[in-house]
Amino acid sequence: MRQPQVVRDVSLPERIMIYEVGPRDGLQNEQAVVPLQTKAEFVSRLVAAGLPIVEVTSFVHPKWVPQLADADDLLDLVDHTGPVPMPVLVPNERGLERALRKGATHVAIFGSATETFAQRNLNRSLDQQFAMFEPVVARANAAGMQVRAYVSMCFGDPWEGEVSIEQVVDVGRRMFDLGASQLSLGDTIGVGTPGHVTALLSAFTDAGLGPDSLAMHFHDTYGQALSNAAAALKGGVTTFDASAGGLGGCPYAESATGNLATEDLVWMLHGLGVKTGVDLPQLVATSTWMAEQLGRPSPSRVVAALSGS
């Protein structure tokens, strides 16, 4: 299988961490329920391909995300306490209680940078979301868990339009003040551009939160995900969220094409001489297999280019 020619840029980090979100964020919007055994095999294949961290599911109420109603059963089938961390999303204290019962070691909360999305997604105001998350983070930290905080709508909101950089930084700062160890900044509707990424990272640095505390979560709705990732990489970010095969999409973005494909990110990084620990051929095989399970081709350009070679 073809690999990119390596031209090392010594100004970039030597190694980055890919935070794989395919099993959770990638599958959660699938209309047809993916069988439990298929999900478990997907996770196992991703680990075998060298993904260093794989977010597997969410302890959200099945009424809201029917696809993830099997979260407890899935954790029984995967090695979620093994050497590869397998975070679970916990929307509230009830979700955290389920995670604690299953022995989860890494959890994530999911907040909003905008008032409208906080109301629609959390049924809370922008300020009220912090009161909801505070006991979750405190209990998780007390239990020795690692806690990640997602912030959505960091680059634009479908109802409010432009989102000020200052507002995003303020929300992110408050998430860290709760006790989160990492902040994932989400371009939920895929409208960000490289200059916007650079400006946001600079603002976080000025606020005392450098790129080592941040992760970036890009969507490719307008074809900007890879260029945005390159801008973040140049800005010193070393953790990137991605979804195998480009699975997933945003229900709030018209014609959303989904998450940044892990294969597309790996191809770019390997070409730059940045280490990921990921076996690209094995990952492509995994995404090709999952596309067959879902009955449609992968939207990843790299998967399309390499799956037949």
φ, ψ at 67 (rounded to 5°) = -60, -30
Residue positions counted in the chain: 309
* Cα–Cα dist 212/238, whole Å: 7
Q: CB 184: neighbour CB atoms within 10 A?
A: 24
Whether the CB-CB separation of 185 and 218 falls below 8 Å is answered with no
303 closest CA partner among 253, 254, 262: 262
Does the annotation count 250 as an active-site position? yes
Calpha distance 164→308 (Å, rounded): 44
Q: Which of 71, 250, 266, 283 is catalytic?
A: 250
Here the tokens at position 305 are 């280019």
User: How far is it, in rounded angstroms, from Cα 34 to Cα 81?
Assistant: 23
Which of 87, 13, 73, 20 minimizes the C-alpha distance to 47?
A: 20
Helix, coil or strand: residue 219: strand
Q: What is the DSSP pairing of strand 146-152 with strand 88-89?
A: unpaired
Question: And the tokens for 196?
Answer: 């916007």
**Spatial distance between the Cα atoms of 91 and 97, rounded to a whole number of angstroms:** 11
* b/e sequence 185-204, b meaning 16+ C-beta within 10 Å: bbbbbbbbebebbeebbebb
Rounded to whole angstroms, the Cα distance separating 264 from 130 reads 35
214/256 Cα distance (integer angstroms): 24
Residues with a known catalytic role: 250
